């Protein structure tokens, strides 16, 4: 099987002198859609729980490897086994940064009139 080239980010997590390297793939719309689908109705009307579940599902989709070991989908399911709480928080910040969700500035909006078909 021919390997496919991936655009990735390498994140170095440091906790008390111990480093962990995490390779994350570039975010794509399909990962977001799959994350929402995976959550389904698990969160009910609880927006905070939905947000947390969503972040975890996106993280699982983006992880390629940890410390040089490529992970299977099953291995990614237990984030608590892979990362400490502090590491998860740091990874969520990284994901917000690479997906642009940490940028709270509004996009530039211009109103204009153009000719078009009726």
CA dist., res. 59 & res. 34, Å (int) = 12
| Residue with token string 């996009």 | 107
CA dist., res. 75 & res. 14, Å (int) = 22
What is the pLDDT, as a whole number, of residue 16?
77
Report whether pLDDT(53) > 80: yes
**pLDDT tens digits for range 67-111:** 999 999 999 999 999 999 999 999 999 988 888 777 767 777 787
Report whether pLDDT(1) > 70: no
Q: Check: CB of residue 16 under 8 Å from CB of residue 5.
A: no
Weakest mean pLDDT among 10-14, 33-37, 98-102: 98-102
Helix (H, G, I), strand (E, B) or coil at 13: strand
Strand ranges of the sheet holding 8-15, from the earlier edge strand across to the other edge = 8-15, 18-25, 63-66, 69-70
CA dist., res. 97 & res. 95, Å (int) = 5
Which residues are CB-neighbours of 12 under 8 A, at least 6 positions away? 19, 20, 21, 22
Give the global pTM: 0.79
Structure tokens at 40: 């389904």
**pLDDT tens digits for range 16-33:** 778 999 999 999 999 989
Structure tokens at 13: 């997590």
What is the pLDDT, as a whole number, of residue 118?
66
Report whether pLDDT(4) > 90: no
């Amino acid at each position: 099987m021919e390997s496919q080239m991936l655009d990735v980010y390498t994140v170095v997590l440091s906790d008390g002198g111990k480093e962990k390297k995490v390779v994350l793939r570039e975010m794509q719309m399909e990962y977001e859609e799959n994350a929402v689908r995976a959550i389904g109705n698990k969160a009910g009307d609880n927006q905070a729980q939905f947000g947390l579940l969503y972040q975890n599902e996106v993280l699982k989709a983006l992880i390629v490897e940890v410390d040089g070991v490529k992970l299977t989908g099953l291995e990614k399911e237990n984030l608590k086994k892979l990362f400490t709480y502090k590491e998860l928080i740091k990874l969520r910040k990284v994901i917000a940064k690479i997906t642009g969700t940490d940028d709270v500035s509004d996009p530039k909006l211009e109103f204009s009139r153009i000719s078009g078909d009726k």
